[in-house]
Amino acid sequence: MTDSKYFTTTKKGEIFELKAELNSDKKEKKKEAVKKVIASMTVGKDVSALFPDVVNCMQTDNLELKKLVYLYLMNYAKSQPDMAIMAVNTFVKDCEDPNPLIRALAVRTMGCIRVDKITEYLCEPLRKCLKDEDPYVRKTAAVCVAKLHDINAQLVEDQGFLDTLKDLISDSNPMVVANAVAALSEIAESHPNSNLLDLNPQTINKLLTALNECTEWGQIFILDCLANYMPRDDRESQSICERVTPRLSHANSAVVLSAVKVLMKFMEMLPKDLDYYGTLLKKLAPPLVTLLSAEPELQYVALRNINLIVQKRPEILKHEMKVFFVKYNDPIYVKLEKLDIMIRLASQANIAQVLAELKEYATEVDVDFVRKAVRAIGRCAIKVEQSAERCVSTLLDLIQTKVNYVVQEAIVVIKDIFRKYPNKYESVIATLCENLDSLDEPEARAAMIWIVGEYAERIDNADELLESFLEGFHDESTQVQLQLLTAIVKLFLKKPTETQELVQQVLSLATQDSDNPDLRDRGYIYWRLLSTDPVAAKEVVLAEKPLISEETDLIEPTLLEELICHIGTLASVYHKPPSAFVEGSRGVQHKKLTARAGSGESAESPDVGLSGPSEAPPAVIPSQGDLLGDLLNLDLAPPTATVPSVQPSMQMGAMDLLGGGLDSLMGDESDTLGGDIGGSPSMGGGLGVAPAAMPAALGGAPAVGGGLGDLFDLSGGVGMPTGSYVAPKTVWLPAMKAKGLEISGTFARRGGIIQMDLSLTNKAMSVMTDFAIQFNRNSFGLAPAGPLQVLTPLSPNQTIDVSLPLSTSGPVMKMEPLNNLQVAVKNNIDVFYFSCQYPISMIFVEDGKMERQVFLATWKDIPNDNEALFQIKDIHLNSDAASNKLQGSNIFTIAKRTVEGQDMLYLSVKLTNGIWVLAEMRIQTGNPNYTEMELSIKCRAPEVSPFVFQCYELVLKN
Amino acid sequence: MIGGLFIYNHKGEVLISRVYRDDIGRNAVDAFRVNVIHARQQVRSPVTNIARTSFFHVKRSNIWLAAVTKQNVNAAMVFEFLYKMCDVMAAYFGKISEENIKNNFVLIYELLDEILDFGYPQNSETGALKTFITQQGIKGQHQTKEEQSQITSQVTGQIGWRREGIKYRRNELFLDVLESVNLLMSPQGQVLSAHVSGRVVMKSYLSGMPECKFGMNDKIVIDKQGKGGTTDDPGKSELGGSGKQSIAIDDCTFHQCVRLSKFDSERSISFIPPDGEYELMRYRTTKDIILPFRVIPLVREVGRTKLEVKVVIKSNFKPSLLAQKIEVRIPTPLNTSGVQVICMKGKAKYKASENAIVWKIKRMAGMKESQISAEIELLPTNDKKKWARPPISMNFEVPFAPSGLKVRYLKVFESKLNYSDHDVIKWVRYIGRSGIYETRC
């Protein structure tokens, strides 16, 4: 009998035919029909229309047919919840069946039907099954609790299933224990602080006993759970380690890796002088090496983990270099990982072998692999000084092959070698220069230019070489441009007489003809330095550079510790914390290694290994990418989140700009070539002393005139955010109501200060003097921060503009509407009263950007009743532009993600009185006009929401 | 945990799709097809993250098995499970092919329901599964209560790999020591790396619940016994032979039937074996390996359009033993236009499609030597990149264990049934094969 025929039918009217067959009286025909339905379901056809007919087949003694119907049910019940109820009776009945296989089948399937109404009926049968006499049923029921928890966590808690589950940890059957542990671990993950697992020495002992007896998978569940336990002292750590080490000989690699995880974690708590500590270290190496003879996919997982282990404890595998030698037929992913580990293990003892291997790899086929191999040679040179010479000559051999990407990669690494060993290998420069023409990658070009600049005095035709690059200056990438600028300046400082023209050329290219602010900034700095104090310029530009570090690509220590706690899992494969790729609350907990209490080597306090989300995230942030979607699975990078807040004064702006430019200059340098400028303290000092004088001084140099303008343009444009939206003035007090005084005004927030901009117009016939202003009590305590400054008398038909700074420290009273402000203005004629409404964005403070973690917590914390939904129509903005605009008004984008063609922005706002207003904004990206946005606002004081919404609308529409 | 499991054919059509978790939607099926199966470049990683969903895949011939998840699962476990899944399917219906999968799709769904619950792997030992899931539909409807509870206790029990009540008229067991010897040698004949990865495969046809104890010439055990002065070793040279006294085992792993804690404390290997064939242990050695063959290459470039290759192989074992299925594979450049070969023994052929000269010798005794020489004509090319010169690889089979491992004893105790260790017929066989046996040239 072949079942493949079920896959072939695709004719029209199939559903109708199937319906007839399903309702057939013949059992065989029915079963055939259900099989066809399942086959259709598998290939993605929608057969949900057959729901009632299939469910009708459920009442059968034929177990195979029953299983097929169940399979169908699991797929479609959610789309047909009402119909699914029909199945409940059969489930309940099956849970009482004398055959344990059928009882288990029923409870297993019921848990997979995610319909609320069904879960109610599930409770009683589940309770019975958890206490069933047959272990097969109990182990199935244990998992079912996790299923139910996933559907309705509250129900599980209310029904007390968690306690029953905990009891199962003491079950006599090891598989029941293992499944209970798995279920509890999963549930505990979504309740980080619940102490659900409640691991104590007694339960640990039970787990360790079950470990010896359960299936390989059960062992994995138990070991993964054990890894979360925190032993009380070294003796307990040691005894657990002793009982876990036999697992290292298990044939299942996952068991081995999970055991390694437990050992790596608990080892941290053992005193280093303990004999056992050394024994344990020795025991770890062989199983790790054995993992490399597993199937390639597992080798990959193992290698990614070994990469972490080697960084944490290099001593474990230091003698095992050979096993990481690449085999010709290894899949590329295995090759690349092996290479990484080889470099980490390279030392003086094995460097000869390593180099011979690397040279071999550099002739392979795969471009990525070859590049990495070449780069590795460079890293060996830097890491092991004794080998540097050999590495350099190997690299020279490789350059002779003339294979384009090999040559370029070699030049990039040779540059690093020059950095590490200055003035040692210049003899190779001639060879490098021969390959100048073949370099087409920016990194290689930049490296070559750096070398020429650095050793300009020893290269006779350095000026010619650099000049040749200058021709296509504007087509080069920024990296190359910056490098070229620096190199020519270096050349000038070394050979001033012949190269004056060249340096002027490059400075004008960089400052006048370039749109790149980094390049322009650097150009100006050099120019200024050269024109004012060439000696200082020499000190700065030709300063001694700091040494480059030996190890590269090391994972940042806190992240490494967290990843060690996740050995064997996806996190250790991606080298990212789980929070970076897991949605929702799962994986938010940061695990960390805990060192032995009282040991001198680590300052960390021996607190609990599991830390709740409330705990502050690790201080050192690994990299942007790793933080990806820390919470709410938000994508990172709110478009312009890092732009500093608005600076009111021009002077400040200019300083900021320079400071920023310098920063990037320094950052850039130290990243690529290591601080031509950054390394020198005199530079920073020089700039820091008189920032205000800078623009003026620049203005003094005639050639820079145009550029100076640019500089100021910049400060108003690119350098600063667009600023908050200010509404045009409206008339608040008409002249007829105030004996000829007309007041119009608006509100603005500048540099963190709320200002009331007023225009006072005298429409009367006599002069007005003695102006004063007062506010009534209002919702946010706005009050004038100073007197109304109208210094000269206001003559008839004259208009005067005043800006009145406001504070928020005045008396508070809730107004209706909330943003209403009652004002009294007095002059020599009378006192006049009027009221006006300020946009609530005036009281959005500059530090209103919430931490992601806090955001999520707060969002959850605020009851759903407080959520208000709004729509903004006719907006022609994409999410980035919107986020930019909002930021100008202190509405901060915390994160952005894209879901099903919609951009979701997560925004926060803080009011002057400390109230936070959170928002989620949904923008259709599919629509080219972005006409509609949906905004849902959450705030503890919901009455604020409509006003906040108004601001959003106002800001976005203007 | 595993959120779903899909099986595709080479075209990316889905053959089996089982979803275990609510966070995995139908679109995951397509995401994998589009991003991995239909991807233009070669697979760069067995784990792929697409839109916050992680896909683990393995390939068997042209069938793709993919497990999906949105959580931080145990990655090693997922791959182990996928392999296990392949083993289970193979045990049920043989080769994993599109046709077999389509023919058995109902069975596969049943298996998937049983061995993976909510994404958590459950007992996946075929021995146990076959007691209640069969290709002829499900057993269990007409079983007695005792039979049912026997099934469930086996599936969940401590000895999940063996059922009770097995009976054989003749108690017999076969032990195969299968080693693959791996070598990477430099052109100058220096051993860059060499190791043996060995497996002890056992076929057991034993009645009841036999308790077995396996012994080999493990250096640690032998040394310990030597020190202890135990002279009457009961299993001494019962099955083993001559050769090296003992070998140093770098590491070994065991089938789950072996009591690991006992091995850890006493280094003794005791277990109740599954019925039929299974892999008892794997091990790795790196010291004192007998390299059965030595390959001496000589490649000379004569001008730009000609290569001269000479390869000598030497066998390095007792002259009385015979190596079989010897194959030497000499890679040729891509721009080869013609090849002339002369070999002293066996047959050699240039295979243009494989870019290699393949030299086959049926049999070769120990301490012998043979040679091949070839002239390779090359087409002139503009390709700047030099030929990568892949290593010369070798395949062979020899009737001994290159690691020097010897089985010392395998004792069987069954207290409830009336057969003793002496009544069991035991067979031991040693086969050494080439693993990756390469010499650079």
**Token pair of A201 as six digits:** 């020495």
Average pLDDT of the segment spanning B111-136: 88
- Please state, in angstroms and rounded to a whole number, the distance separating the CA atoms of residues A713 and A237: 65
Does position A646 have pLDDT exceeding 90, yes or no? no
Q: Looking at the structure, tell me whether residues B16 and B119 fall in a common domain.
A: yes
Question: How confident is the model at residue B71, as a pLDDT?
Answer: 92
pLDDT in tens, A86-99: 788 888 888 898 88
Alpha helices in B162-301 (DSSP H): 219-228, 260-266
- B337-356 tens-digit pLDDT: 999 999 989 999 999 998 99
Task: Indicate whether B234 pLDDT > 80.
Answer: no
Task: With CA atoms as reference, report the closest residue to A479 among A503, A446, A509.
Answer: A446
Are B250 and A289 a contacting pair at CB < 8 A? yes
Residue A292 has what pLDDT?
92
Q: Is residue A644 pLDDT above 60, yes or no?
A: no
Q: How far is CA B97 from CA A251, A673, B136, in A?
A: 27, 55, 20
Query: Can you tell me which residue has the tokens 């290219």?
Result: A509
**pLDDT above 60 for A662:** no
CATH of the domain at A808: 2.60.40.1150
B412 lies in a domain?
yes
Residue with tokens 């949904």: A922
pLDDT, residue B410, reads: 93
The Cα A825–Cα B410 span in angstroms is 107
Beta-bridge mates of residue B385: none
pLDDT over 90, % of chain B: 62
Same-domain status, B180 and B272: yes
pLDDT of residue A586: 54
Q: Which of A68, A101, A75 is nearest to B105 (CA)?
A: A68
B392: domain range?
293-398
Question: Which residues, 6+ apart, have CB-to-CB distance to B289 below 8 Å?
Answer: B181, B194, B195, B196, B402, B403, B404
- Please give the helix or strand (H or E) that residue A392 lies within, else none: helix A388-400
Helix%, strand%, coil% for chain B, nearest 5: 20, 40, 40
Tell if the CB–CB gap between A363 and B386 is shorter than 8 Å: yes
Contact check, Cβ <8 Å, A573/B75 = yes
Distance (Å, whole) CA A649 – CA A715: 11
* β B269-271/B251-254 pair status: unpaired
A865 SS3 class: helix
In order of A758, A808, A811, A815, A837, the CA distances from A777 in angstroms are: 20, 11, 5, 8, 14
Instruction: Give the end-to-end CA distance of chain B in Å, rounded to a whole number.
Output: 47
Question: What ranges make up the beta strands (E) of B186-250?
Answer: 191-205, 211-216
Contact A67 B153 (CB under 8 A): no
pLDDT of residue B138: 55
- Given a cut of 60, whether residue A635 has pLDDT beyond it is no
> Final residue of a domain: which of A838, A868, A886?
A838
- C-alpha A769/C-alpha A788 separation (Å) is 11
B259 contact A CB<8A: yes
Residues A486 and A506 in one domain: yes
Question: First-to-last CA distance in chain A?
Answer: 72
Residues A865, A907: one domain? yes
Cβ-defined contact of A112 to B118 (cutoff 8 Å) = yes
Q: Note the pLDDT tens digit of each residue in A588-608.
A: 567 777 776 544 444 344 343
User: Is A706's pLDDT higher than 50?
Assistant: no
**How many other CB atoms sit within 10 Å of the CB of residue B306?**
12
Residues A787 and A762 placed together within one structural domain of the fold: yes
Instruction: Say if CB A484 and CB A468 are below 8 A apart.
Output: no
Give the pairing type, strands B172-185 and B425-439: parallel
B78 and B200 housed in the same domain: no
Q: Using the predicted structure, report yes or no on whether residue A643 has a pLDDT greater than 60.
A: no
Residue A830: other Cβ atoms inside 10 A:
10
Give just the sign of the alpha carbon dihedral B187, B189, B190, B196.
positive
User: In this complex, do B138 and A64 lie within 8 Å of one another by their Cβ atoms?
Assistant: yes
Alpha helices in B183-328 (DSSP H): 219-228, 260-266
Reported for A232-235, long-range contacts at CB under 8 A and 24+ positions apart, including other chains, are: A232/A201, A234/A269, A234/A270, A234/A271, A234/A274, A234/A596
Is A580 domain-assigned?
A: no
| A196-210, A758-772, B177-191 — most confident range | B177-191
Q: B-contacting residues of A 569-628, CB under 8 Å?
A: 569-574, 578, 581-583, 586-587
Looking at chain A, the whole-number percentage of residues with pLDDT higher than 70 is 83
Is B317 inside a domain boundary? yes
**Same domain? A914 vs A880:** yes
How far, in Å, CA of A583 to CA of B49, rounded? Answer: 13
Q: Using an 8 Å Cβ cutoff, are A778 and A763 in contact?
A: no
Does any domain span residue B269? yes
Q: CB-based contact (8 Å) between A141 and chain B?
A: no
Same domain, A896 and A809: no
Please check whether residues A848 and A812 belong to one and the same domain: no
Residue corresponding to tokens 């540099």: A751
Q: How many domains does chain A have?
A: 3
Residues B272 and B420 in one domain: yes
In whole angstroms, give the CA distance from residue B120 to residue A219: 12
Nearest CA distance, B11 vs chain A (angstrom): 13
Torsion angle, alpha carbons of A554, A557, A561, A567, to 10: -10
Determine the pLDDT at residue A83: 79
Please tell me whether residues B105 and B183 are part of one structural domain: no
- Kindly report, residue by residue over A733-749, the tens digit of the pLDDT: 888 888 888 888 888 88
Residue A877 in domain: yes
Does residue A860 share a domain with residue A900? yes
**pLDDT at position A633, please?**
37
Instruction: Specify burial of residue B228 (Cβ count, 10 A radius: 0-12, 13-18, 19+).
Output: exposed
Are A857 and A919 found together in one domain?
yes
Query: Is it the case that residue A882 has pLDDT exceeding 70?
Result: yes
Q: Is the pLDDT of residue A957 over 70?
A: yes
Between the alpha carbon of residue A94 and those of residues A63, A378, A818, the distances in Å are: 11, 68, 62
The mean pLDDT value for B169-187 works out to: 93
Out of A202-206, A866-870, B284-288, B307-311, least confident range: A866-870
A42, A135, A144 member nearest B14 (Cβ): A42
B59 & B196 share domain: no
Do both B393 and B332 map to the same domain? yes
Task: Establish if B234 belongs to a structural domain.
Answer: no
Q: Residues B377-436: pLDDT tens digits?
A: 988 877 656 677 889 999 999 999 999 999 999 999 988 887 888 889 999 999 999 999
Contact A804, A771 (CB under 8 A): no
The answer to whether residue A949 is domain-embedded is yes
B308 and B201 in a common domain: no
Query: Does the pLDDT of residue A696 top 80, yes or no?
Result: no
Q: Is residue B153 part of a domain?
A: no
Q: What is the CA radius of gyration of chain B?
A: 26
The predicted model gives A130-150 an average pLDDT of 93
Is the same domain home to A850 and A833? no
Per-residue confidence (pLDDT) for residue A724, from 0 to 100: 62
Q: What is the CATH number of the domain that holds B200?
A: 2.60.40.1170
- Tokens encoding A24: 């057939």
* Residue A743 in domain: yes
Would the CB atoms of A35 and B106 count as touching at under 8 Å? yes
Minimal Cβ distance to A287: which of B22, B121, B251: B251
Q: What is the dihedral of CA A442, A444, A450, A455, to 10 degrees?
A: -150
The pLDDT-based confidence of A483 (bands split at 50, 70, 90) is: very high
pLDDT score at A10: 54
pLDDT band at A619 (very low <50, low <70, confident <90, very high): very low
Query: For residue A68, which of B407, B107, B212, B169 has the smallest C-alpha distance?
Result: B107
**Alpha-carbon distance B62 to nearest alpha carbon in chain A (angstroms):** 16
Q: A761 lies in a domain?
A: yes
Report which residue type is found at B206. L
Q: What is the mean pLDDT of residues B201-221?
A: 92
| Structure tokens that stand for A570 in this block | 């996806």
| pLDDT confidence of residue A42 | 82
Residues near B264 by beta carbon (within 8 Å), at least 6 away in sequence:
A245, A246, A249
Distance separating alpha carbons of residues A573 and A570, to the nearest angstrom: 5
CA atoms of A750 and B254, how far apart (whole Å): 72
pLDDT at residue B160 in the model:
76
Would you place residue A793 in the very low, low, confident or very high pLDDT band (cuts 50, 70, 90)?
confident
How far apart are alpha carbons B117 and A180 in whole angstroms?
13
**Residue A827 sits in the same domain as residue A849:** no
Place of tokens 């195969």: B176
B279 has pLDDT over 90: yes
Model pLDDT, residue A589 = 64
Q: Is the pLDDT of residue A887 over 60?
A: yes
**What pLDDT score was predicted for residue B383?**
64
Q: B328 and B406 share a domain?
A: no
Res A642 pLDDT > 50: no
Q: pLDDT of A186-201, one tens digit each?
A: 998 887 666 777 788 8
Residue type, A603: A
pLDDT of residue A624: 39
Question: H or E element: which one contains A753?
Answer: strand A753-762
For residue A906, tell me if it sits in a domain.
Answer: yes
Is residue A419 within 8 A of residue A674, CB to CB? The reply is: yes
Gap between the Cα atoms of B394 and A328, Å rounded: 13
Task: Check whether A703 has a pLDDT greater than 80.
Answer: no
Adjacent-strand bridge partners of B378: B336
Do A832 and A847 share a domain, yes or no?
no
Q: Tokens for A864?
A: 């759903």
B151 lies in some domain: no
User: Using one digit for the tens of pLDDT, what is the confidence trace for B2-37?
Assistant: 999 999 999 999 999 999 998 898 889 999 999 999
Six token digits for residue A52: 């009632």
Paired tokens of A488: 């020519």
Is residue A675 helix, strand or coil? coil
pLDDT at B296 > cutoff 80: yes
Average the pLDDT over A164-179 and give the result.
Answer: 92
Instruction: Name the domain boundary from A821, A838, A855.
Output: A838
Instruction: Examine the domain organization and report whether B258 and B349 are in the same domain.
Output: no
Span A438-447, average pLDDT: 90
Of the three residues A489, A504, A532, the one that is the final residue of a domain is A532
CB-CB neighbours of A631 under 10 Å = 23
- Number of CB atoms found within 10 A of residue B418's CB: 9
A116-138 mean pLDDT: 89
User: Could you write out the three-class secondary structure of A47-108?
Assistant: CHHHHHHHHHCCCCCCHHHHHHHHHHHHHHHHHCHHHHHHHHHHHHHHCCCCCHHHHHHHHH
pLDDT of residue A467: 87
Q: Which domain holds residue A487?
A: 460-532
Total domains in the fold of chain B: 3
Residue pair A396/A434 in contact (Cβ under 8 Å)? The answer is no
Residue B108 lies in a domain: yes
Statement to judge: residues B283 and B410 lie in one domain = yes
Contact residues on chain A for B160, CB-CB shorter than 8 A: 175, 215
Does residue A737 belong to any structural domain of this protein? yes
At which of B130, B161, B182 does a domain end? B130
pLDDT of residue A647: 38
Q: Cα A39 vs. chain centroid, distance in angstroms?
A: 41
SS3 A619: coil
User: What local confidence, expressed as pLDDT, does residue A921 receive?
Assistant: 82
pLDDT at position B368: 93
Q: Are residues B51 and B31 in the same domain?
A: yes
CB-based contact B58 A295, cutoff 8 Å: yes
Q: Is the dihedral of CA A938, A941, A946, A952 positive or negative?
A: negative
CB B429 within 8 A of CB B382: no
Measure A262 CA to nearest chain B CA, in Å: 14
pLDDT band for position A672 (50/70/90)? very low
How do strand B392-398 and strand B425-439 relate by DSSP bridges? antiparallel
Residue A2 has pLDDT above 70, yes or no: no
Q: Is B27 on the interface with A (CB under 8 A)?
A: no
B255 touches chain A (CB under 8 A): yes
Question: What CATH number does the domain containing B83 carry?
Answer: 3.30.450.60
Does B148 fall in a domain?
no
Contacts of B193 in chain A (CB under 8 A): 322-323, 325
Hey, how many other C-beta atoms are within 10 angstroms of the C-beta on B402? 26
Q: How confident is the model at residue A535, as a pLDDT? A: 86
Q: Which of A617-631, A819-833, B320-334 has the lowest mean pLDDT?
A: A617-631
Q: Please give the Cα distance from B258 to B283 (Å, whole number).
A: 14
CATH number of the domain enclosing A872: 3.30.310.10
Q: What is the ipTM of this complex?
A: 0.83
Taking the Cβ of residue B383 and every Cβ of chain A, the question of whether any pair is shorter than 8 Å is answered with: no
CA gap B177, B406 in Å, rounded = 9
Q: Residue A883, exposed/middle/buried by CB under 10 A (0-12, 13-18, 19+)?
A: buried
Residue A850, in any domain of the structure: yes
Residues A736 and A828 placed together within one structural domain of the fold:
yes
Across chain A, mean pLDDT equals: 80
* pLDDT confidence band for B67 (50 / 70 / 90): very high
Cβ separation of A258 and B69 shorter than 8 Å? Answer: no
Find where tokens 């035709």 sit. Answer: A461
Question: Is residue A670's pLDDT more than 50?
Answer: no
Q: CB–CB of B83/A295 below 8 Å?
A: yes
CB atoms within 10 A of CB A828: 12
